[in-house]
Amino acid sequence: MKLDQSPLGRRRSIAKQLLLAAVICSGVSWAQSGPTCSITPSQVSLERQLRQLYLDLLGRPPTMAEYRFTQSKGAILEEDIKELMSRDEAYTRLKGYHRALLRSNISQSITTNGDQRLQVVTEGLRPLEIRGNPSRALRGRNGAGCDHFIEQDNCNAFQEDPHAEPAVKTCRDTLGVPMPVSFDYSTDNYTCTQLNTTNTAVTDCNVAVTQGAILDKQLYFCDMRRTGTMGVLAPFLCLPQSGNPITAALTEEVLDTNGRIIAFRNPMAPSGQLSRLDRCSLDLSLTGGVRGRYATQTGCVQKEGVVTTAAPFWDTAATVTMCAIEAQTRDVNPWTMESCETGRFLGDRSCGCGFSSRRCEPGSGALHNARIAAINEEPLQLIDSVLRRDENYFNVLTTRRSFVNGTLSQLYRQTQSPTVWATTSPTQPSLVPDVALNDTTTWAEYTRDEYASGVLTTASWLYRFPTQRSRVNQFWNTFLCKSFAPPAGAAVPAPEDSCNRDNNLATRCGCSYCHATIEPVGAHWGRFGERNATFLDPNVFPRVSAKCRDCALAGNTTCDNECGNYVMQAFDGEGAQSLGLLRTYLYRTEDEEPNIAGGPRLLVERMMQTGDLEKCAVKNAWNHLLGRPMTTEEEHLYMSKLVDQFAMSNHNFKHLMITIIQTDAYRRVD
C-alpha cells in the first residue's frame, strides 16, 4: 500500500503509529539479548485490500461491479489473485515493472546527425539526395547536392559551363563510378557576383566577356549558376573572398598561355595554410594517388547527375530518381576493395546507399524513432513470453528466444543503416522472421544463435549499457541487488606511487577493490562490441589477428579501419606483447578467458549457484508490490520462506507475487 502524504493522511498515520506502539508494547517478549517486539498486524478492510490489489496488479482501481462481486464472496481468495494475474492488464503492468528494472530506453544511447538520410528535392528532376556533412567529401561543400537537371548517363546532352568544360565529358570511370557532370565555385572560398542583373543581354560567360561585364582573363572564374525557384542559369564572377584573411591573401594571378587566370596564389602562405586556389573543373584528384580514392578539388563543388533507380525499401513506388552517387549498390569500392558496410560509405563516392537504399534512411527521422521504440520493446516481449508461459523466471536471462516486429525484422534482414545501427543480426538474416517494415505491432518469435542469453544480449541491453564494465554494474544492481564500492577504510595510494601507473585496473592499487571483480565478470561480454550491438564472431574476429599485428608493428594503428577491436598500440610491457590481440583478451588470466567463450549465460549459471539471483528477485518483487524495501525484521521473517517457495515453484514469478500478496506485511496498514 502506498503512503498517503496529505495532511489528513499524516494525522491518521500518527494515530496509527501510536496505536501500533501500544500494541507492540503490550506484546513485548524477552530473550537473552533483551526485549524484542512481536508485531500484531492491523488488517485493512476488504474493499481497501481489493483496491490495493487492483492498483498493484492492474494499475487501476476496481469497478463497482468488481467491488460488489468481491463483497458477495466476503474474501479475496488465492484463485481471485491468480485470475487477476492472468489478465492482459496484469502482463502490461509487469512489462512496465521490467521496463523500469532494466532501464530499457536507448533514446539517449543512439545519436544521429541525419547524414545518412535521403532528402527530397523539389526542383529539376526531383531526385533523392544526401546533404549535410557527407557532401564535403563527395562534392566539395557541406550541404551540396548533385546536379538536379542533368542525367548522369546522358551527361553530354547538356553543358552547364561550356566555356570551361571539355567537349566530351566522362560520365563514369572505367569501373562505373559516377564522375562530376557540372561544377560551381564554393562560396566557402569565393564571393560570386551575378553579372546579368543590369544587362540582361549577358546570358552566359562568353557573352559576359564580349559585353565587357568581365575581363577576358577572368573567363575561367565565370560560373554559370542556377538561381530562383525555377533554377534558371545565370553567369556569376567568382573571386577569392576579400573578407577572409586567408583567401584575401591569394593575390597573385597564375595565367595560362592565353593570358587567362587559372589560379590565385599566395607565395608567402605559412606552412599548412591555403596557398593556392585553382580554377574549377570536372577533374577529381586522388587521395595518396590511389585510384578509386577520389577527392574533390579545394574551392569547388563538383556535382554528379541523377539516375532512375529502384525505390528505397521504405517507398512503395517501383522506381525513383536519385543522385547517381547515392543510387549505387556496391558492397566494396571497386578500385580499392575497401568495405562500404561501415560509416566510410558516406565519404566514398563509389559506395552509395546500397541495394534498396538499405544503408540510408528516409529524411523525416520517423524510421529512426521506430527503431528505438522496437529495440526498447524487444526485451519486454521476451520477458512477457516467459511470464505468460509460466517458465522459470531466470529464462529471461538465458533464453535464445526473442521477437521482432517489422522495424527490427528489416533492420536485421537487410543490414540497414550501418552508420547509425552497428548491430549484428542475432541469427542468419534469412532466418529472422520476415515482417513488413510498417507492421510495428506484430511481434514474431524466432531463435537466436547460440551466443544469445536472454535480455543480456539484446540490442537494448548492449546499447543502454555500452561497455563491459557498465554491463557488469547493471547486472549486479538489477539481478543481484548489489553495488560496487570500496570497503570501509580502503586506502588510496599517493599520486606518486608507481602502482597508479598500472594499466590493468584489476591489479592497480586503489582500483582493485572493485575491478578485481568487475574485470573478470566483464569478460562474459567479451565477444560483444562496446558502444554498439555487434557480436564479435570468433570466425571473423579471431583471438589474434596477424594482419592487425603487422599493421601495429608497422605503425599503422588504423589498418584501413579494420582493427578497431584489436590492440594496436602498446602502453606497457604487456601491451607491447599483445599487439594484434583482440582487446577483450588484454590482461586476462587463464582462468578468465573461459568467461569470454561462455558469455553472459555462463555468468547466470554461476550466479544461480549462490542464491543471490533468487534473493534479489524476491527483493525486487517486494519493492514493486509494497512500494518500499523490506525492513530488517521483515527480511528475517519472510526472506527465507519466500526464496524457498520461489524455488519450489520452479522460479515462477507470478507465484512469487501471489506469495508476497498473501503475507501479513502486504495486508498491514503501512
Torsion on CA atoms 91, 94, 95, 99, rounded to nearest 10: 180
Q: pLDDT by residue (tens digit) across 587-618? A: 999 999 999 999 999 999 999 999 999 999 99
CB 426 within 8 A of CB 449: yes
Average pLDDT estimate for 490-510: 88
Q: What angle do CA 401, 436, 130 make, to 5 degrees?
A: 110
Angle, helices 612-626/468-479, rounded to nearest 10 degrees: 70
**Residue 280 within any structural domain of the chain:** yes
**Structural domain boundaries enclosing 30:** 1-40
**CA pair distance 504, 575, nearest whole angstrom:** 10
Cell numbers placing 128: 533523392
CB 175 within 8 A of CB 325: no
What's the pLDDT at 33? Answer: 40
SS (H, E, C) 81-130: HHHHHCCHHHHHHHHHHHHHHHCCCCCCCCCCCCCCEEEECCCCCCCEEE
CA angle 442/443/444 to nearest 5° reads 115
pLDDT confidence bin for 136, thresholds 50/70/90: very high
pLDDT-derived band at 667 (thresholds 50, 70, 90) equals: confident
Percent of the chain scored above 70 by pLDDT?
Answer: 93
Q: How far apart are CA 118 and CA 361, in angstroms?
A: 6
β 300-303/232-240 pair status = unpaired
Shared-domain flag, residues 141 and 286: yes
Task: Give the model's pLDDT for residue 490.
Answer: 87
Is pLDDT at 19 greater than 60 in this prediction?
no
Rounded to the nearest 5°, which phi and psi values hold at 612? -70, -35
The C-alpha atoms of residue 266 and residue 248 are separated, in whole angstroms, by 9
Residue 276 lies in a domain: yes
Task: Report the side by side order of strands in the sheet with 261-265.
Answer: 252-255, 261-265, 276-278
Residues 6+ apart with CB under 8 A from 59: 89, 92, 93, 96
Are 15 and 157 contained in the same domain? no
- Using alpha carbons, select from 124, 152, 130 the residue that is nearest to residue 351: 130
Contact between residue 381 and residue 99 where contact means Cβ atoms under 8 Å apart: no
Q: Are 292 and 334 in contact (CB under 8 A)?
A: yes
- Band (pLDDT 50/70/90 cuts) for residue 75 is very high
- Domain limit, last residue, from 293, 309, 325: 309
Domain identity same for 184 and 303: yes
pLDDT of amino acid 22: 39
Span 281-288, average pLDDT: 94
Q: Residue 20 pLDDT > 80, yes or no? A: no
Q: Specify whether 170 is located in the same domain as 303.
A: yes
Per-residue confidence band for 25, with pLDDT thresholds at 50, 70 and 90: very low
Lowest mean pLDDT among 27-31, 85-89, 582-586, 632-636: 27-31
Cβ partners under 8 Å of residue 108, min gap 6:
none
Mean pLDDT across 69-75? 93
Query: What's the predicted TM-score (pTM) here?
Result: 0.87
Give Cβ neighbours of residue 129 (< 8 Å, ≥ 6 apart).
118, 119, 121, 145, 146, 322, 323, 326
Which helix (H) or strand (E) is 185 found in, with range? strand 182-185
Q: Which are the contacts of 231, defined by CB distance < 8 A and separation ≥ 6?
A: 123, 124, 148, 149
Please report the DSSP string for 151-174 in residue order.
BGGGGGG--S-TTTS-SS---B-T
Q: Is the pLDDT of residue 276 over 80?
A: yes
Torsion of CA 155, 159, 163, 168, to 10 degrees: 30
CA distance 488 to 494: 18
Kindly state whether residues 164 and 288 are assigned to the same domain: yes
Between the alpha carbon of residue 239 and those of residues 165, 212, 214, the distances in Å are 19, 17, 12
Bridge partner residues of 447 (DSSP): 401
Return the closest-CA partner of residue 160 out of 209, 220, 204.
204
Report the pLDDT averaged over residues 189-205.
95
| CB contact set of 55 (below 8 Å; sequence gap of 6+) | 61
Classify each residue of 474-483 as buried b or exposed e, where b means 16 or more C-beta atoms within 10 Å of its C-beta. bbbebbbbee
Report pLDDT digits (tens) over 38-60. 434 456 789 999 999 999 999 99
What mean pLDDT is predicted for residues 6-24? 42
Task: Kindly report the number of other CB atoms within 10 A of residue 281's CB atom.
Answer: 17
Q: pLDDT (tens digit, 9 = 90+) per residue, 219-254?
A: 999 999 999 877 899 999 999 999 999 999 999 999
Residues 299, 340: contact at Cβ < 8 Å?
no
Are the beta carbons of 623 and 665 closer than 8 angstroms? no
Residue 59's identity, in one-letter code, is G
Buried b (16+ CB within 10 A) or exposed e, 633-667: ebbebbbeebbebbeebebbbbbbbbbbbebebbb
Instruction: Count Cβ neighbours within 10 Å for each residue of 333-349 and write b for 16 or more, e otherwise.
Output: bbbeebbbebebbbbbb
Residue 438 counted as domain residue: no
pLDDT for the residue numbered 43: 63
Work out the average pLDDT over 383-388: 98
DSSP 598-618: HHHHHHHHHHHTTTHHHHHHH
pLDDT of residue 35: 44
Stretch among 111-120, 300-309, 457-466, 646-655 having the lowest mean pLDDT: 111-120
Q: Are residues 22 and 132 in the same domain?
A: no
d(CA 645, CA 74): 27
Instruction: Give me the pLDDT at residue 563, please.
Output: 92
Flag whether 136 is in a domain: yes
Residue 65 in domain:
no
Half-sphere exposure (Cβ direction) of 55: Cα atoms closer than 13 Å: 13
Helix, strand, or coil (residue 263) = strand
The C-alpha cell of 30 is what?
Answer: 524477552
Q: What is the mean pLDDT of residues 351-363?
A: 96
Based on the domain organization, do 132 and 7 belong to the same domain? Answer: no
Do 219 and 124 share a structural domain? yes
Please, what sign has the CA dihedral across residues 186, 188, 189, 192? positive
At which of 309, 333, 355 does a domain end?
309
- 280 vs 178: CA distance, rounded Å: 18
- pLDDT value of position 484: 94
Looking at the fold, whether 125 and 240 belong to one and the same domain comes out as yes
Name which residue leads in pLDDT, 34 or 317. 317
Query: In 3D, which of 248, 179, 265, 190 has the Cα closest to residue 222?
Result: 190
Q: Are residues 294 and 151 in the same domain?
A: yes
CA-wise closest residue to 622 among 604, 611, 608, 637: 637
What residues form DSSP beta bridges with 128?
120, 322
Q: Is residue 348 part of a domain?
A: no
**290, 309, 328 — which closes off a domain?**
309
pLDDT at 9 over 80: no
Quick one: 146 and 293 in the same domain? yes
117-120 and 361-362 as β-strands: parallel, antiparallel, unpaired?
parallel
160, part of any domain: yes
**Mean pLDDT rounded to a whole number for the chain:** 92
Residue 21 has pLDDT above 50, yes or no: no
**DSSP code at position 359:** T
Q: Which residues contact 175 (CB under 8 A, 6 or more apart)?
A: 292, 334, 335, 350
pLDDT tens-digit profile of 451-481?
Answer: 999 999 999 999 999 999 999 999 999 999 9
- Residue 17 pLDDT grade (very low, low, confident, very high; cuts 50, 70, 90): very low
Q: pLDDT band for position 13 (50/70/90)? A: very low
The total domain count for the chain is 2
Please give the grid coordinates belonging to residue 67. Answer: 467491488
Structural domain includes residue 598: no
